[in-house]
Amino acid sequence: MKKTIVVSADRGETRVAVLEAKTVKSKREVAEVYIERRGGRSLVGNIYLGKVDNVLPGMEAAFVDIGLERNGFLHVDEILLPDGQPAPKRGRGQGRRIDELIKPKQEILVQVIKDPIKSKGARLSMNVTIAGRYLVYAPSGSGVGVSRRLADKERERLRRMVGRTYDGPGGLIVRTAAHGAKKTDFVREIAYLHRLNEVLDKRKQDAKAPSLVFQEQDLPVRVLRDVFLNEFDKAIIDDEKQYERVTSFFQRTAPELVEGVELYRGQKPLFEKWEIEKAIQSTLGHRIDLPSGGYLIIDYTEALTVIDVNSGSFTGRGKGGLEETITKVNTEAATEVVRQLRLRDIGGIIVIDFIDMARGKNRDKVLGTLRTALDADKSKSYLVEISPLGLVEMTRQNITDGVREILTVKCPTCEGEGVVLSAETVAIEGLRKLAEIAREHPDDEAFLIRVHPKVATLLNQEESGLLELEGETGKRFHFEGGEALAIDNFELIEAGERTGIEERALPFRPGEEVYVKVEEPHMYNADDAVARIDSYIISITGAASAVGERKMVRIESVERASAIATLLPDENQPEEAKGKPEAKSDGRSGSGGRGRRSAAKPRSGGSRSGGSGKDSGDRSGGGRSGGSRGGSGRAADGAGPAAEANGDRPSGKAASEADDGAGKGAEEAEGQKQEKSVNSGRFGLRRGRRRRGRKKADAES
């Protein structure tokens, strides 16, 4: 089975992919992917002069300061005695306590054997090693060891050859890559490793704890050094600097491999040419489809990874019956499971739930397929027999973060739970928050709340209880927001007088001309149509024939929940309006100008919904036609002052000056607002800043 290594270096990121083909004629698929970003380089292999921060006898471990954000973890089994020998293991009255071996403030030389993962610090060892192409040098070790992945005959040959070539100091481990290597290869590499060890000793003497004294090779060199074996036909690199680094390393350690390294100069991105980008994106999904029609579901937990095998659409072929069908899916799944473990670099405890099989020989067949596939995995693994429940338990070595952990972050909305509160839940909880706001602000008459439009729609429904709450408290509540908000967002952004709050909450002013998309016919008036911005409804008179088009309309009247507009004649439709998409509300409030507006963008997105006359559960936003809460009928209760203010506004230059004055007044009032924050469960209710300038002026007068 021939393999290819592909290396791509971009700005801020280096990626390496291992491609494998099951047969000579089959297509090569992505088997492994490694990603390293600037500032996120793996620490495995780095050697530090550390200082012991704390010794915990109860855990038989110590925490060592190596200059990173979190201290490294050193277990008692990874401690070396002053003579370089491992500490005796404890058990049956033998061994020594960890507080007898090392002390706080003691300076020790340690190597990272496992990267920091999540909240855990790096795993450390005092058994320092330096890796080469064919050999691993252990300065404090002794003797010659050989990789167990090699055949017994080859292991014995290499052991004798290296033993005759090297007599110390230190110990050597012969790597899997040494298969077929000659004596001259080992002589050259031993000299190379000794030079590196001399550099390490000098840096250790000059260093001051905590500090880095030896850094492992970067990703391309590291991967090619470790996996570029005889079964690989070539390595392709698209970056000249990385190409030079790799070839320079092989010239010192394995000159015969230099010819197998190619510099890619094609126009098409290397990872796209080999369809690696698609494979990387697939690692983010939970479902993996199998060729037969079955599929895998991969779920991640803190303790383990669970893989579920399902038959899906595969119903079997021939006369084998159910058992044969299940065995076919399970066998196919066993191979794909290992591929996904390697591709995603999943480590730790892994539980595989195969489809139940009645016959023992079929279970053995699936388990054998799984073991055979794991032989191609360079990471250490341990497999347990199929349990009585039909589960396969295994562990896989986890050294660094996998592709999924590098590419993604925890969802800020669900915080990794995978679920969020429903709009209905937020609306019900929101009513309680509104009552709390009313109690804590006895002197304020109205409030502006930022919520998701779906929540605003539910709150505005007659049966929601908002009407009763406003009647009981004597307060008025207005809402603004946009689709970009989290569904559980509930934020008080302003409190003050009713007139001022309603003025800000109104998204438009009478006489404004705006571009909108006419979305659907009016439910009760065949001549009219409806436009919608978040949950705010614009009923357009005479626009039934313009459904689906973008048109300029004039706002005639504005209510808390809706507005009424008229369609401008065709001769008044400007050329720039043709084909111009409507703007979406960003949920931010603004002053809004007079005259034509370049887009249908409310000064505050989505107040009390209504207007189209559709039922409250309709996607139009839950408004009613006519009535006190909006729609195309009379103004809502309490909207009179705002409507009168809008109706009496001057025009022309006077209007412009009035708007400018209002804007300045708003800015001054904004500066007088006091801000305090209260965390109220998942809602994170933030008490907004108050506008009290007008109330204060009234009191003084």
Amino acid, single-letter form, for residue 585: S
Per-residue pLDDT tens over the stretch 450-481:
999 889 888 988 888 998 999 999 999 988 88
Whole-angstrom distance, CA of residue 42 vs CA of residue 220: 12
Measured between alpha carbons, how far is 541 from 521 in angstroms, rounded to an integer?
A: 10
Dihedral angle, C-alpha 457, 459, 464, 469, nearest 10 °: -150
- Token pair in block for residue 678: 């209260």
| Lowest pLDDT segment from 226-230, 242-246, 451-455, 585-589 | 585-589
Question: Measured between alpha carbons, how far is 234 from 236 in angstroms, rounded to an integer?
Answer: 7
Taken as a whole, the chain contains a residue count of 701
> Poorest-confidence range of 7-16, 339-348, 486-495, 670-679?
670-679
Measure Cα distances from 557 to 364, 528, 554, 646 in Å: 77, 15, 9, 9
Mean pLDDT (the chain, rounded): 80
Smallest CA-to-CA distance from 558 within 598, 603, 523, 597 is with 603
Stretch 482-501: mean pLDDT: 90
pLDDT at 575: 66
Residues 584 and 550: beta-carbon distance below 8 Å: no
Q: Specify burial of residue 635 (Cβ count, 10 A radius: 0-12, 13-18, 19+).
A: middle
| Strand 304-310, strand 348-353: pairing | parallel
Structure token digits, residue 30 = 């992505």
> What would the two tokens of residue 329 be?
């899916």
95 pLDDT higher than 90: no
The answer to whether 289 touches 314, Cβ cutoff 8 Å, is no
8-state DSSP, 47: E
Q: Is 248 helix (H, G, I), strand (E, B) or coil?
A: helix
List, as one string, the DSSP characters of 435-496: HHHHHH-TT--EEEEEE-HHHHHHHTSGGGSHHHHHHHH--EEEEE--TTS-TT-EEEEEEE
The dihedral through the CA atoms of 402, 403, 409, 411 has a sign that is negative
Is 255 in a helix, a strand, or coil? helix
CA dist., res. 31 & res. 341, Å (int): 9
Q: How many CB atoms lie within 10 A of CB 342?
A: 22
pLDDT of residue 576: 57
Angstrom distance (rounded) from CA 118 to CA 582: 44
Phi, psi dihedral angles at 305 (to 5 degrees):
-115, 130
Task: Say which DSSP state 584 is in.
Answer: P
Count CB neighbours of 252 within 10 A. Answer: 14
Q: Reduced to 3 states, what is the DSSP secondary structure of residue 151? A: coil
Is the pLDDT at 649 greater than 50? The verdict is no
Tens-place pLDDT, residues 35-51: 999 878 899 999 999 99
The span from the CA of 123 to the CA of 101, in Å, is 18
Question: 210 vs 41, 198, 240, CA distance in Å?
Answer: 19, 20, 35
Helix (H, G, I), strand (E, B) or coil at 700: helix
Instruction: List strand residue ranges (DSSP E) for 238-367, in order.
Output: 261-263, 287-289, 295-300, 304-310, 348-353
Of the candidate ranges 149-158, 185-194, 310-319, 621-630, the one whose mean pLDDT is the lowest: 621-630
CB neighbour class for 570 (10 Å; exposed up to 12, middle 13-18, buried from 19): exposed
The per-residue pLDDT for 578 is 52
Tell me which of 119 and 335 has the higher pLDDT: 335
**Three-class SS state of 198:** helix
675 pLDDT band (50/70/90 cuts)? very low
CA-to-CA separations, 49 to 215, 238, 453, 561, in angstroms, rounded: 12, 36, 56, 67
Is the pLDDT at 392 greater than 80? The verdict is yes
DSSP structure class, residue 94 = B
Strand, coil or helix: 629? coil
What order do you get walking across the sheet with 171-174 strand by strand?
Answer: 130-131, 135-138, 171-174, 144-146
What local confidence, expressed as pLDDT, does residue 199 receive?
94
At 546, phi and psi to the nearest 5?
Answer: -105, 15
pTM (two decimals): 0.70
pLDDT score of 462: 80
Crossing angle of helices 640-647 and 498-505, in 10° steps, is 70
On the 0-12 / 13-18 / 19+ scale of CB atoms within 10 A, 321 is: exposed
Q: Where are the alpha helices (DSSP H) in 207-320?
A: 219-227, 240-253, 270-273, 276-282
| 2 pLDDT more than 80 | no
Angstrom distance (rounded) from CA 513 to CA 600: 9
- Residue in the block written with tokens 């050259």: 188
Q: What is the pLDDT of residue 319?
A: 58
4 forms beta bridges with 19, 234
pLDDT of 689 above 70: no
Sign for the pseudo-dihedral over CA of 507, 512, 515, 516: positive
Task: Return the residue matching tokens 């360079």.
Answer: 378
Distance of CA 172 to the CA centre of its chain: 42
**What is residue 587's predicted lDDT score, i.e. its pLDDT?**
38
Cα angle 193, 345, 178 (rounded to 5 degrees) comes to 30
How many Å apart are CA 176 and CA 516, to the nearest integer?
Answer: 68
Give residues with Cβ within 8 angstroms of 469, minimum separation 6.
Answer: 431, 434, 435, 438, 477
Top-confidence residue, 140 or 298: 298
